[in-house]
Amino acid sequence: MTDLNSRLANAPVVPLVQADDPKIAVATTRALAAGGLTVIEVVLRTPSSMDCLSAICDLDDDIIVGAGTVLSAEQASTVLDQGAKFIVSPGLDESIVQIAQENNIPVFPGINTPSEIMKARNLGLNMLKFFPATIAGGIPALKAFGSVFGDVKFMPTGGVSAGNLADFLALENIVACGGSWLTPAAAIAAGNYDAISRLAEEAVSIASSVAK
Ligand code: 3PG
């Protein structure tokens, strides 16, 4: 967890990479890293997403690659075999958490209620994905969670953008924000990887301007 934590402390933004072609996934990841974001979540939402994850994990680059949209224990095991260094899931599933814990791999299950936070906390977790962040109460919800779960940190995703990133990151109980705004499908389709690097640079600059 230490590597991931220190990387996120430096640049607390986790871009989603969704691709169906490993070459495009690699180019997107490298564009993000060139812009300063080196913790990447590859989402399992396309037929070739496992191949994309594997290709990125095989890179020699200094990037921490996780798998997102992990929906089952079977997928959790497979992404670890491919080399994923952390697991993100939209919801809280104990079998996924168990596989991650058995393998000593950070896992961010998605939660958006106090009962789910308690369940996750009682499974031994203290960093959770807050999803879908803006729909599930956004910043007021995170403040309310902070008042009762002082030992839990959150990674909001779902509706986070350059426009609200600073507001999320300013909260004490935020470890990082995640999202797809850094990897717009139109830029990828156009092969405009410079645009992706610029979005990453913008996010890094917003994050560094937030004083806690
Ligand atoms: C996720 O899986 O974290 C969300 O799909 C991200 O939501 P976004 O597309 O609104 O950033």
b/e map 71-99, b = 16+ CB within 10 Å: eebebbbbbbebebbbbbbbebbeebbeb
C-alpha to C-alpha distances, 177 to 9, 80, 82, 191, 197, nearest whole angstrom: 11, 23, 24, 25, 17
Q: Is 158 close to ligand 1, i.e. is its CB under 6 Å away?
A: yes
Ligand 1 neighbourhood includes 146 CB (under 6 angstroms): no
pLDDT at residue 2, rounded to an integer: 67
Q: CA dihedral defined by 134, 168, 161, 1, rounded to 10 degrees?
A: -100
Confidence (pLDDT) at 212? 66
Contact 40, 66 (CB under 8 A): yes
Share of the chain above pLDDT 70, in %: 99
Query: Is 23 one of the annotated active-site residues of the chain?
Result: no
Reduced to 3 DSSP states, what percent helix, strand and coil does the chain have, rounded to the nearest 5?
Answer: 45, 15, 40
160 CA → ligand 1 middle, Å: 8
Best residue among 131, 161, 177 to mutate for probing ligand 1's pocket (most ligand atoms within 8 Å of CB) is: 131
What is the β-pairing status of strands 64-68 and 13-17? unpaired
Query: Considering only CA atoms, which residue is closest to atom 3 of ligand 1?
Result: 157
Confidence (pLDDT) at 211:
72
Say if residues 167 and 191 touch (Cβ distance below 8 Å): no
Read off the tokens for 31. Answer: 């564009």
The residue to mutate among 13, 16, 183, having the most atoms of ligand 1 within 8 angstroms of its beta carbon, is 16
Domains of the chain: 2-107+165-205 (3.20.20.70)
Spans of the chain below 50 pLDDT: none
pTM for this entry: 0.96
Nearest to 126 by CA among 96, 146, 143, 140: 146
Write down the catalytic residue from 23, 74, 85, 129. 129
| Element spanning 107, H or E | strand 107-111
Residues making up the chain, counted from first to last: 212
pLDDT of residue 60: 85
Per-residue pLDDT tens for 124-168?
A: 999 999 999 999 999 999 999 999 999 999 999 999 999 999 999
For residues 68 and 41, is the Cβ–Cβ distance under 8 A? Answer: yes
Question: Is 180's C-beta closer than 6 angstroms to any atom of ligand 1?
Answer: yes
The yes-or-no answer on residue 41 being catalytic is: yes
- How far apart are the C-alpha atoms of 194 and 186, rounded to whole Å? 13
Instruction: Tell me which residue has its CA closest to atom 11 in ligand 1.
Output: 179
